[in-house]
Amino acid sequence: MSHHPVPKRVHRLWSTEHEPVLEVEDGDTVSFDLTEATDGQFDPGSTVDAVAGFDWDRVYPLAGPVLVKDAEPGDVLEVEFLELRSVDWGWTAVLPGLGLLSEDFPDAHLHLWDLGGGGTANFLDVADIPIRPFCGVVGVCPDTAEPQSVLPPGHFGGNVDCKDLVAGTKLYLPVQVPGARLGLGDPHAAQGDGELCVSAIEASLSGAARIRLHKGRRIAAPQFETAGPLRADADRAGHYATMGVAPDLMRAAQDATRAMIDHLGTRYGLAPIDAYVLCSVAVDLRITEVVDAPNWIVSAHLPKAILRTL
């Protein structure tokens, strides 16, 4: 078993044509430095004007691909995150045309974060967001003839934006092509389940992971295993939750989010756009009911522990 730094060479599409940057074996560890999703298009001095010049061709720089010796389709690749450390600043943006409530919030917005506050990030003196670094994109290369965008996730993993892929979590990915071709990117410092405004606290990070290969173990899509309670710190003071009820889960999710934005404005004085940002980085969407046709329920959960005034 060996340790390998992942070379700082990136790619921006899933493709079997990329030259691997590294080959590892079962049990090896890798260390990596990941640049935030815009690849440096925002900085600590940026204003919302930076969104207008956004270059989508630079988005989602991925480290890798990392080749795993003997990995074949029908195997499972395990990625155990050992350490993840965010840099001292980050950003959250509302990008026109994207996000759960893109019609409600058509204009660009950019919020910059100071992440040097000892484990939390202050949001407008209303909330302190716990820093929980993770990789928004972790995947093996899909079996595709044409290069595939990183934006949509797939059965191979990719842009899953799962906030629980923190240090200690083991992620299991179904190998699609020989060698697996692992790629990592889109680092986040914090996020709510749903990433509602289309961005989390986006922040570059460094970290390390152990790679395991499970021969002949078949799974249809990613699975993961946590090392302990999901959100012990955030759950300690309870939650305030709003419900969306609709015959469509997307509509229910939108209605639950709208109700939470209204609650944050009424109770804490946040402007709607700021409440939307807070929802994206700290509020969790949960499916409450999908069995009582014709209406399904999605709930938006706000952890009260993050709030400065309950």
Report all structural domains of the chain as residue ranges with CATH numbers, in order of start. Answer: 3-225 (2.60.120.580), 233-306 (3.10.28.20)
**Under 8 Å between Cβ of 109 and 49:** no
Q: Is the pLDDT of residue 117 over 90?
A: no
Whole-model pTM over 0.75: yes
From the CB of residue 136, how many other CB atoms can be counted at a distance below 10 Å?
Answer: 27
What is the predicted pLDDT for the residue at 233? Answer: 75
Q: Is the pLDDT of residue 82 over 80?
A: yes
What is the predicted pLDDT for the residue at 18? Answer: 95
Cis peptide before 5 (omega within 30 of 0): no
**Under 8 Å between Cβ of 186 and 35:** no
Pairing between β-strand 109-114 and β-strand 89-94 as defined by DSSP bridges: antiparallel
Q: Is the pLDDT of residue 86 over 90?
A: yes
What is the predicted pLDDT for the residue at 54? Answer: 86
What is the predicted pLDDT for the residue at 228? Answer: 87
Q: Which amino acid is at 50?
A: A
- Expressed in angstroms, the distance from the first to the final Cα of the chain is 50
**Under 8 Å between Cβ of 177 and 20:** no
Contacts of 1 (CB under 8 A, 6+ apart): 25, 27, 28, 29
Banded model confidence at residue 53, pLDDT cuts 50, 70, 90? confident
Return the structure tokens found at 283. Answer: 């509020």
